[in-house]
Amino acid sequence: MRQAAVDLYYNFAAFIPANVIFGVGLIAVFAAVATSPLGWIAVVGLVPLTAGCMALATSLVRDGHTDLGEFMAVVRRPWLVLGLGIVQLAAGAVLVVDLAVGAALGTPVGGVLVVSAVYGLAILWTYAVVAWPIVLDPSRRDEPLAARLRLATRLLIAHPGRMFGLAALVGIFLGFATVAVAAIVMFALALGWLVTARYVLAAADRLEGRPAEVRGEPS
């Protein structure tokens, strides 16, 4: 976390504009949702912005430098991240509906549905936190998407406690930052993604037996 904060400080010229673009998009989504229930469709538009911020983080962690071009490259060619993001959003929507239905039932069956949905959402968020840095890892850019997703699955299975802990930490931090509004608009997503990218990429390299490629990681 300390190294991520240092990275953000010395690379604010790339991360802060990207984070502000995401923050403006997030505010627009909230406004759309407040206006119409169909406003939730606008969440899809946040996928490339969120992935673009992660691309900044992974390129900095791997190469020791980055620029806003990494963010814009994802925004200009969003099809891969949009496809993956839409699948995750759809799975999340199904689980939220299950949660709402189970809570409304008020029966033992409803209770099982609620518990299953809560666990499902926790696993989905954790997998997203593990998978996105690997999907956007410059060192794995030439690997098939399926191979990168399999690696994310292996990493989650190999270190479930650590990955759930990381996901919980990042999720709580981003949740509080969203309530604070200014933090999520200005810097919070960039900082959260830097922590995630630094931790996940180092863990993935160790799992595969790769030489240390993460800047700041011991060989």
Return the pLDDT at 211: 76
Helices (H), the chain: 2-10, 12-35, 46-63, 68-76, 79-105, 108-135, 145-158, 160-180, 182-183, 189-208
Instruction: Annotate 23-43 with three-state secondary structure.
Output: HHHHHHHHHHHHHCHHHHHHH
102 contacts 21 by C-beta, under 8 angstroms: no
Q: How many residues does the chain have?
A: 219
DSSP state at residue 191? H
Comparing C-alpha atoms, which of 116, 131, 138 is closest to residue 166? Answer: 131
18 contacts 184 by C-beta, under 8 angstroms: no
Q: What CA–CA distance (Å, rounded) separates 138 from 124?
A: 24
> Taking the C-alpha atoms of 149, 197, 67 and 178 in order, what is their torsion angle to the nearest 10 degrees?
100
91 contacts 124 by C-beta, under 8 angstroms: yes
Which structure tokens are listed for 125?
């968020």
Residues contacting 14, CB < 8 A, separation 6+: 56, 60, 66, 67, 68, 70, 71
pTM strictly above 0.85: yes
Comparing C-alpha atoms, which of 72, 207, 56 is closest to residue 133? Answer: 56
> Taking the C-alpha atoms of 89, 120, 170 and 182 in order, what is their torsion angle to the nearest 10 degrees?
50
Comparing C-alpha atoms, which of 204, 130, 167 is closest to residue 213? Answer: 204
116 contacts 99 by C-beta, under 8 angstroms: no
What are the domain boundaries of the chain? 2-208
pLDDT digit string (tens) for the chain, length 219 residues: 889 999 999 999 999 999 999 999 999 999 998 888 788 889 999 999 999 999 999 999 999 999 999 999 999 999 999 999 999 999 999 999 999 999 998 888 889 999 999 999 999 999 999 999 999 999 999 999 999 999 999 999 999 999 999 999 999 999 999 998 899 999 999 999 999 999 999 999 999 987 766 655 543
Return the pLDDT at 110: 87
